[in-house]
Amino acid sequence: MANQKRKFLFQLNHPAHYHLFKNSIDELENRGHEILITIKEKDILKKLVSGRNYIQISKGKGYRKKNIGSILSSLFLRNQELLKVARKFKPDMMIGTSPEIGQIRYLVGSPAIFFGEDDVNLSPIMYLGALSCYPLFSRIVSPTGVNNSIWNRKTSFYHGYQKLAYLHPNRFTPDRSKVHIAENKKFFLLRFASLAAYHDLNASGINDHIARDLIDKLRQHGEVLISAERPLPEDLEPYRFQGNLQDIHHYMYYAHLYIGDSQSMAVEASMLGTPNIRYSDFVGKITVLEDLEHRYGLTKGIHTDHREQLFVYLDGLLQETDLVEKQKEKRKQLLKEKIDVTGFMLWFFENYPEGVKELKNNPDLQKQFLLQH
């Protein structure tokens, strides 16, 4: 229970996973719990966890190849390394957003808690991925409304979104001094994802031609910054974001508009009340983003089949004089209904497993994690 000191292993494969759990890790350490972080071989992750108790797990050979065979091969190798680490640490609980902890759970003898907000029927590869690991997790934790298919019965649902674990006002305060653009100048943030994750197989987004057309239009109204996971052609490279990547959410909060093919950053922009457009094959398929678009009006999805619609909609936004102000008001409505996810996580971790039944019988206990006005 809450007063019992425990050992928690957090398994992180991506910088987004670090942001999801960083506040929980800090607070658990402050409460006297012992923490070990395992990370996938990635320079950004190493920088983020610098100074913490962490161990690096290699990617495995062929990781960057965009095919199922290389993904499965690298997963097997990571599992072997993670198993050695977990057996030595002997955690009371393993926590993460990737399959590995579920796949080694029985060999370690610790419960494995999976945090996911993607619907498992998003694509055939997503469903196959869930089929291979969801049965192995002790518990799945997801936002209310997410479709975990036959695994809904082993899911604990909460009234929030993963990004509110670090972008809720209780956890994040925007700082204009960290944004190195004149306050009287509009700026626009573009994001081009690599689309190399296993659930992105065969997905498309913003190509170089569309990027150039967006920049030509936006630079007439302000400065353009590109955050890109993929290489950029020479003529687009001058627009690449040169600031501190750890300050990206401050830039996002103060941006006049975000446009990208990253689902994750569209959710982040919505959490911050920043007007945003996501141009993606996944429009209409992801519960969290559909909720944000149709219930709160905090994002706009345009499918890649409708290129002209992207620019027509963008023209409309650029003509609005109170665009940002209206979006910040919509965010206020969201925050009246959605919880501080880090606060919920801490309660869940410290009260597991008894808290699972308590939450199921009384979902309203989450109201204690609503923003206090």
Q: What is the mean pLDDT of residues 146-153?
A: 96
Q: Would you list the DSSP string of 143-156?
A: ETT---GGGGGGEE
Q: How far is CA 117 from CA 42, 122, 346, in A?
A: 23, 11, 18
The SS3 of residue 161 is coil
Compute φ and ψ for 370, nearest 5 degrees.
Answer: -75, 155
User: Which is nearest to 141 in space by CA: 373, 334, 353?
Assistant: 353
Mark out the alpha helices in the chain (DSSP H runs).
15-30, 43-48, 68-89, 100-108, 124-133, 164-167, 208-218, 248-254, 263-272, 287-294, 307-319, 323-337, 341-351, 354-361
Q: 106: which residues sit within 8 A by CB, 6+ positions away?
A: 136
Q: 19: which residues sit within 8 A by CB, 6+ positions away?
A: 165, 166
Confidence (pLDDT) at 245: 86
φ/ψ bin of 123: left (φ > 0), alpha (ψ from -120 to 50), beta (otherwise): beta
By residue range, what is the domain housing residue 127?
A: 7-169+340-361
Question: What band does 199 get if pLDDT is binned at 50, 70 and 90?
Answer: very low
Q: Are residues 182 and 137 in the same domain?
A: no
Q: Are residues 133 and 197 in the same domain?
A: no
Residue with tokens 């027509």: 312
Domain count for the chain, please give it. 2
* Model confidence at 299: pLDDT above 80: yes
Q: Each residue of 233-289: pLDDT tens digit? A: 999 999 999 999 889 999 999 999 999 999 999 999 999 999 999 999 999 999 999
Question: What's the CA gap between 202 and 200, in Å, rounded?
Answer: 6
* Model confidence at 150: pLDDT above 90: yes
Confidence (pLDDT) at 126: 85
Q: What is the mean pLDDT of residues 77-103?
A: 94
Has residue 69 been placed in a domain? yes
Q: What is the pTM of this model?
A: 0.92
Question: What band does 59 get if pLDDT is binned at 50, 70 and 90?
Answer: low
Has residue 16 been placed in a domain? yes
* Model confidence at 87: pLDDT above 70: yes
Q: Are residues 258 and 356 in the same domain?
A: no
Question: What band does 204 get if pLDDT is binned at 50, 70 and 90?
Answer: confident
* Model confidence at 305: pLDDT above 80: yes
Q: What is the mean pLDDT of residues 21-27?
A: 98
* Model confidence at 309: pLDDT above 70: yes
Confidence (pLDDT) at 196: 44
Q: What is the CATH number of the domain that holds 241?
A: 3.40.50.2000
Q: Are residues 249 and 291 in the same domain?
A: yes
Has residue 373 been placed in a domain? no
Q: What is the mean pLDDT of residues 150-165?
A: 98
Has residue 266 been placed in a domain? yes
Has residue 372 been placed in a domain? no
Confidence (pLDDT) at 255: 98
Mean pLDDT score of the chain, rounded to an integer? 92
* Model confidence at 203: pLDDT above 70: no
Q: Are residues 315 and 347 in the same domain?
A: no
* Model confidence at 99: pLDDT above 60: yes
Q: Are residues 103 and 185 in the same domain?
A: no
Q: What is the mean pLDDT of residues 45-71?
A: 75
Of all residues in the chain, the percent with pLDDT exceeding 90 is: 79
Question: What's the CA gap between 259 and 288, in Å, rounded?
Answer: 18
Pick the range with the lowest mean pLDDT from 29-33, 195-199, 350-354.
195-199
Has residue 246 been placed in a domain? yes
Has residue 61 been placed in a domain? yes
Q: 205: which residues sit within 8 A by CB, 6+ positions away?
A: 192, 193, 195, 260, 261, 279, 280, 281, 304
Q: Are residues 164 and 248 in the same domain?
A: no
Q: Are residues 281 and 351 in the same domain?
A: no
Has residue 81 been placed in a domain? yes
Question: What band does 125 get if pLDDT is binned at 50, 70 and 90?
Answer: confident
